[in-house]
Chains A and B, each alone.
Chain A
């Protein structure tokens, strides 16, 4: 529990201090212990190597067990009864027939769970505010019996007026009043009054526009985006007397454990949450879901283990990245310097206040480019739609669609290279906090990316005017957090045979966490990576860590693992020093040997030292220390893209991507590259094909399947993706790494949009860039302004 927690006074001689952690764009202050610094790694043996994933074989052979796969004896399946209406009142509800149906062990109705909420949402409701909201839950011996019984729960609804359109909801003509003070609230975290937007301001934008040579105004819209995790959301809950075990497909077992303890008022020690293997989260599995609490309660009620996995259809009716409308006004000097930015955003966030946390997207505009005068105004608007959640690069991914196209548009208007415009507005200081960036390799990203992409040469190429397939190139940039921070603890246990157990609470949400943490541990101990066995994401056996969100995992748990390994190593050196006849601080370790640093041939095997441990094992502890004071910790990147646009059919093919990212030290080039390639693939879907759609007339989702939602398949991913790290030194933590989970998605969609513009001279202001939008834009100049 990080938020707003009042910290205890330190006792004993352990020193603590406050430090700032940037999580999904919000700065959270936490108290943390000071950790002795470790020397910078200079030459590394294992860190930086493109090693295969430690669990790769398990995953490709199907041996890795995900929550979806777990079966326990006497397990029941739970299925929700969901509202078929976007807004209604339940007049009557009867479970009699369902309870009498074959295999049914329990039904829970809203009155059974009325005193519980999770993330500000009712678990079950008599007043559904969106289609698909949970009304009741049925548990039966098979999934099909549960589905059948769910249809037998008789619910009588009184249908109520609903509103799907954010502009209508925000106006005084809205048929639904969500709160007496209005239908919107300030977007983003923090306490905002209902009926007022959240505002950020610096300088004087009006004066800025007066001082500008040119002013550009454009409106961009983004569609909602779905996470499309390969593993759907789900929970298996099992009680043994008062001890609860929960298997959860989650980004953070400790977050889930805390939420269960809070909701049900039971001690943390009674709750074990396991999430070792999980099939993707992308922000949608940051904590406990409604199904977590419902499975736990149903298991208690039926005295049987209960599994509640959502179907793909339910998943596609659930959480998502909210849509946005972004009204931009930017004033520039003729040399490309930004003088003023004004941005208003409208973000529909569903029917509950907690959705407003994600109803904000202006942060990138306030930080990305040097600009003295900035004013942003953000409206999170309530509608009769499901509640959104975090999604990979929340806010910045929406905002980049607008901002990075604005920068492109400005470059074309001023007849400047889009990279030149960006470089002229480079800034070394976070303009919101006035803190200097601990490191910023963005200029290096432009330089390296442009060179690898042959940017200059490709920009000079001209299409055959008579041809119908036009090539175009585009660039976009990104900024994100990714500095990580405490709390994160790791334990390294050296066994008497020299094998090593690494215990970390961190989830591996598909990013390769287990692999890179093993590499860090092996590097610090000086043993091969196959000596390390990692156990992760289990609250009973692994120590506390924040969830894997905000690209914080590597830069949070990585330093803790290094510290723990160092602590264990020092203890082993104490034992080895005697045998080698030197002092412990004269020793080093590498390749499975402990040796005298100045006399490397004086050495012993790591396992020989371990064999001499009187206690038969030893345990090293490591904590993530504070972030450096007064520095902004951010990851940067630039992506270059080449497309081919068919001017007749409007079809877009992404031919090439070159991505250059500044993430500090790369621990494993393979996992680094797969993060970037995955981000670009996801961004290609956001740019070109994905469309979550709720029918405006009925408030019912109509594209809730992989077929209709259209995420890219491997064949739709860009044909050729090159990934580079600019390797700018970063010293804000003891491994020198920043996170790279979210950054690769942020720049992708606008890079594609900019390339489309370069190819055919029309700008597409709303994603996805479907064939018909290009056809209409080319046919009908009205819908797309010709600028080139």
Chain B
């Protein structure tokens, strides 16, 4: 690990100023579970760490009339254990239960979780790859078993965050503070694919921090399900995952959001699958058709076509669970 300046921030404005001063050479340190491994692996070498764990008031789960507000420093295990989340947001609860290991969930934060960098071993190894400003993606002709089958564009990373997949399905939004003030963006707009920016996975600027995640109350009749497959059963990133959040009325799917994880550079919303099921009963045939539709445009690389079948299966399971 290389030397860096350590700036503990005691107010959001301190943190933003400290980030701003560093001109892109600072990183935000919250739980540190992802950041420290990047520093130790020498794939990220910031001059400064702005520690926001010292900020007051960013650890909360608050219910108001619109929805639930989760402070950016709230740990994943706190959210997982929250009674409202367990009851009203089963999709998020299921996702958190299979995220990382308990020790990591005790440390990792809401904001950090959705800002994790991809696990691509070329990105995290001594390879001068496109996402690091280099000239090629080593995965295309290399070891790409864990890489993207959807949404790849020159770069084939997959977004690593289970909670991001869940939050897109739940139509969450993200509150961001920066030098230019405060803004709230729908989480879907927060993530960007390589066709928009090949160096970053989201819109967060160098001087910005996430302060809150907002999840609207699900409408009555809403159901959610999250299914994930992983290679090592105790803890592992997703080979693929599928989140379905669905409002059912007399057996008919009135509204739905379908999001796939582990298969694309961003949490992958499948409007194709949504279009198939919207306004229909979730019969076996409709579910099959929707799962096929979700993967119709999949373009597997040399070693990952298994992800197509696996994702269909996980999506089918999630649909089945919300249809019961």
Contact with B along A136-148 (1 / 0, CB 8 A): 0000000010011
Q: Which of A238-246, A473-481, A554-562, A767-775 contacts B (4 or more CB under 8 A)?
A: A767-775
Residues from chain B with a CB closer than 8 A to the CB of A651 are 229, 233
A653 close to B (CB within 8 Å): yes
The chain A residue sitting closest to B41, CB to CB, is: A313
Chain A CB within 10 Å, residue with most, of B232, B235, B236: B232
Contacts of B239 in A (CB 8 A): 771-772
**In the complex, which residues of chain B have a beta carbon less than 8 angstroms from the beta carbon of A700?**
125-127
Q: What are the residues of chain B within 8 A of A649 when measuring CB–CB? A: 229, 310, 313-314
Please tell me which one of the listed residues B126, B142, B235, B310 contacts residue A771 in the complex, with CB atoms under 8 A apart: B310
Question: Which of A522-530, A577-585, A688-696 binds B?
Answer: A688-696
- The interface stretch among A35-43, A191-199, A536-544, A705-713 is A705-713
Task: Write out, one digit per residue, whether chain A residues 673-713 have a CB within 8 A of any chain B CB (1) or not (0).
Answer: 00000000000000001000101111011110100101011
Q: Which of B126, B142, B234, B310 contacts A712 (CB 8 A)?
A: B234
Binary contact readout A107-148 vs B (1 if CB under 8 angstroms, 0 otherwise): 000000000000000000000000000000000000010011
B138 within 8 A of A: yes
Task: Pick the contact of B234: A148, A697, A713 (CB < 8 A).
Answer: A713
**A44 contacts chain B at the CB level, 8 A cutoff:** no
Cβ-defined contact, B232 with A689, below 8 A: yes
User: Is A648 part of the binding interface, using a Cβ–Cβ cutoff of 8 Å?
Assistant: yes
Q: Cβ of A693 and Cβ of B143 under 8 Å apart?
A: yes
Q: 1/0 per position for A756-770, CB-CB distance to B under 8 A?
A: 000000000000001
A466 is an interface residue with CB less than 8 A from chain B: no
User: Is A279 part of the binding interface, using a Cβ–Cβ cutoff of 8 Å?
Assistant: no
Say yes or no: is B121 at the interface (Cβ < 8 Å to chain A): yes
Instruction: Kindly report which residue of chain A lies nearest to residue B304, judged by CB atoms.
Output: A772
User: A695 contacts which of B142, B229, B235 (Cβ < 8 Å)?
Assistant: B142
B138 CB, nearest partner CB in chain A, Å? 7
- The reply to whether A147 and B310 contact each other, CB–CB distance below 8 Å, is no
Q: Assess whether B5 is interfacial by the CB under 8 Å rule.
A: no
User: Is A424 part of the binding interface, using a Cβ–Cβ cutoff of 8 Å?
Assistant: no
> Within 8 Å CB of B234, what residues of A?
712-716
Docked Cα-Cα span, A710 to B231, in Å, equals 9
* Closest A residue by C-beta to B235: A713
Interface size class of A (residues with CB under 8 A): 20 to 34
Tell me, yes or no, whether A776 is within 8 Å of chain B by CB.
yes
Q: How far is the CB of A194 from chain B (nearest CB, A)?
A: 31
Report whether B309 and A715 are in contact in the complex, using a CB–CB cutoff of 8 Å: no
Q: When the two chains form their complex, are residues A84 and B126 in contact, meaning their CB atoms are under 8 A apart? A: yes
Taking CB as reference atom, which chain B residue is nearest A697? B142
Contact B232 A716 (CB under 8 A): yes
- 8 A Cβ contacts from A288-320 to B: 313
Q: When chains A and B are docked, how far (Å) is the Cα of A250 from the Cα of B145?
A: 37
Q: Which residue of B lies closest to A768 (CB)?
A: B231
- Asked whether A779 is an interface residue with its Cβ less than 8 Å from the other chain, the reply is yes
Give the distance to chain B from A775, nearest Cβ to Cβ, in Å: 5
With beta carbons under 8 angstroms apart, the residue of A147, A697, A708, A712 that contacts B1 is A147
| B contact residues around A772 at 8 Å (CB) | 145, 239, 306-307, 310
* Residue B3 interfacial (CB < 8 Å): yes
Is the pair B306, A776 in contact by a Cβ cutoff of 8 Å?
Answer: yes
Measured between alpha carbons, how far is A710 from B122 in the docked complex, in Å? 17
Interface residues of B in 137-183 (CB under 8 A from A): 138, 141-143, 145
Residue of A nearest to B240 (CB): A649
Complex CA–CA separation, A696 to B122 (angstroms): 13
Of chain A, the residue at the smallest CB distance from B306 is A772
Most buried by A among B40, B138, B234: B234
Q: What CA separation (Å) do A650 and B240 show in the bound complex?
A: 13
Docked Cα-Cα span, A648 to B315, in Å, equals 12
Q: Is there contact, CB below 8 Å, between B232 and A712?
A: yes
Which residues of chain B come closer than 8 Å to A313, judged between CB atoms? 40-41
Least Cβ–Cβ distance between A498 and chain B, in angstroms: 47
Q: Is B2 an interface residue (CB 8 A)?
A: yes
Please, what's the 1-or-0 string for B226-270, where 1 marks a CB less than 8 Å from any CB in chain A?
000101111110010000000000000000000000000000000
CB <8 Å contact, B231 and A695:
no
B7 nearest CB across to chain A (Å)? 19
Least CB distance from A232 to B in Å reads 14
Smallest beta-carbon distance B102→chain A, Å? 10
- Contact assessment for B233 and A148 in the assembled complex, using a CB-CB cutoff below 8 Å: no
Chain A 500-541 against B: per-residue CB contact (8 Å), 1 yes, 0 no?
000000000000000000000000000000000000000000
Bound CA span A561–B140, Å: 60
Taking a contact as CB atoms under 8 Å apart, the answer to whether B142 and A696 are in contact is yes
In angstroms, Cα B128 to Cα A700, docked, is 12
- Cβ–Cβ < 8 Å partners of B145 in chain A: 772
A716 touches B233 (CB 8 A): yes
Q: Distance in Å from the Cβ of A463 to the closest Cβ of chain B?
A: 19
Q: Nearest-CB distance from A402 to chain B (Å)? A: 23
CB contacts (< 8 Å) of A710 on chain B: these are: 231-232, 236
Chain A residue with the shortest CB-CB distance to B233: A716
Expressed in whole angstroms, the minimum distance between the Cβ of B238 and any Cβ of chain A is 12
Contact A771 B229 (CB under 8 A): yes
Q: How far apart sit A776 and B304, CA to CA, in the bound complex (Å)?
A: 11
Q: Is the CB of A703 within 8 A of B121?
A: yes
Interface residues of B in 13-52 (CB under 8 A from A): 40-41
Determine if B306 and A715 form an interchain contact, defined as CB atoms under 8 angstroms apart.
no
**Residues of chain B contacted by A701 (CB below 8 angstroms):** 125
With known contacts A649-B313, A698-B127, A775-B310, A144–B232 Cβ distance under 8 A: no
Q: How far is the CA of A653 from the CA of B230 in the complex (A)?
A: 12
- Which of chain B's residues has its CB closest to A689's CB? B232
Residues of A near B229 (CB, < 8 A) are: 649, 651, 771
Say whether, besides A700-B126, A708-B121, A648 and B313 are in contact (CB < 8 Å). Answer: yes
The answer to whether A653 and B233 touch across the interface, beta carbons within 8 angstroms, is yes
- Chain B residue contacts of A775, Cβ below 8 A: 306, 309-310
Residues of A within 8 A of B125 (CB): 700-702
> In the docked arrangement, what's the CA distance between A720 and B306, Å?
31
Contacts of B1 in A (CB 8 A): 144, 147
**Which A residues are CB-close (under 8 A) to B309?**
775, 779
Q: B236 contacts which chain A residues (CB < 8 A)? A: 710
Query: Are B138 and A697 in touch, CB under 8 angstroms?
Result: yes
Nearest A residue (CB) for B1: A144
Residues of A contacting B2 in the complex (Cβ-Cβ under 8 angstroms): 144, 147-148
Asked if A702 contacts B121 (CB within 8 A), the reply is: yes
Alpha-carbon separation in the docked complex, A703 to B122 (Å) = 10
CB closest residue in chain B, given A131: B126
Instruction: Determine which residue in B3, B138, B143, B145 has the highest number of CB atoms from chain A within 10 A of its CB, and name it.
Output: B143
Q: Within 8 Å CB of A697, what residues of B?
A: 138, 141-142
Asked if A698 meets B310 with Cβ closer than 8 Å, knowing A148-B3, A771-B229, the reply is: no
* B101-136 to A contact mask, C-beta < 8 Å, 1/0: 100000000000000000001100111000000000
Q: Which residues of A contact B310 (CB under 8 A)?
A: 649-650, 771-772, 775
User: Min CB distance, A669 to chain B, in Å?
Assistant: 28
A771 to B145, CA, bound (A): 12
- Report chain B residues within 8 Å CB of A705: 41
For residue B57, give the distance in angstroms from its CB to the closest CB of chain A: 33
- Chain A residues with CB under 8 Å of B141's CB are 697
- Taken together as a complex, chains A and B put the C-alpha atoms of A716 and B232 apart, in Å, by 7
Which residue in chain B gives the minimum CB-CB distance to A708? B121
Distance between Cα atoms of A714 and B101 in the complex (Å): 12
A570 CA / B121 CA spacing, docked (Å): 64
Alpha-carbon gap, A650 to B310, bound state (A): 9
Q: Which residue of B lies closest to A772 (CB)?
A: B306
Among B121, B138, B310, max chain A CB count under 10 A is at: B121
A-B contact pairs, 12 of them (CB 8 A): A313-B40, A651-B229, A697-B138, A698-B138, A700-B126, A702-B122, A703-B121, A710-B231, A716-B233, A770-B231, A771-B231, A775-B309
Given contacts A697-B141, A712-B232, 13 further A-B contacts (CB under 8 A): A144-B2, A148-B2, A649-B310, A650-B310, A698-B142, A700-B126, A700-B127, A703-B121, A713-B234, A715-B233, A716-B232, A771-B229, A771-B239
10 residue pairs, one from A and one from B, having the closest CB atoms: A715-B234, A772-B306, A702-B121, A713-B234, A710-B232, A716-B234, A689-B232, A648-B313, A649-B229, A697-B142
